[in-house]
Structure 1
């Protein structure tokens, strides 16, 4: 594998983790979103799925985003009869976003992003040293 392939693999990893971070941030931002009328569904947590992508020309395997989907787990309910989205019994559907899960996803995405960034920095350093040797 040459250096350009290494940089491409790391860049794809960084793009994937940046998108993962964006999805987690969107989930956290909408955690308290409810429906606007009785019985309406609140914000549904988004999920992200990755896939392996093989570049046959170079023989490298990188990560790509397969799908941004939705978490189909059930909504919880909260008793709040004064809320505009409360049903006849006074319950409001609340989002299925779990803050702890999203925070853990952001930490994991950050660590993976940093690992790919470190790989790029090491590759750049090796390229620079090789060029300096050729002078």
Structure 2
């Protein structure tokens, strides 16, 4: 396999992970279960979230953030990640796109779209999220 074939294969494998494991973790979070999302995040520093509602840096803040989000989300009726761009370079990767979500936030049904960019590190052969930036799309 030449370098271009390896790169294409690595990108394809990463995108499959984004569309399966990462998607399922985000869906679980929006149904009130933060554990699958937390499991996909790096346990190595640095980690950070510049979120639509709250920010976090470091493992302790990340745990608090994901727990709080899990408590506020429930009854997700729709979640889709529209990937606009992504790439894999060695053991680093990124995604950029729109997250379209219909869920309940603190018991109130809400539908919203976030612009989301994430940075990933490959750790022990597995992809882990290291950084997330999300903000609400406004008309």
| TM-score, normalised by the number of residues in structure 1 | 0.32
Structure that is richer in helix per residue:
1
| TM-score, normalised by the number of residues in structure 2 | 0.31
Higher relative contact order (CA 8 A, sep 6+): 1
Q: Which has the larger radius of gyration?
A: 1
Structure that is richer in strand per residue:
2
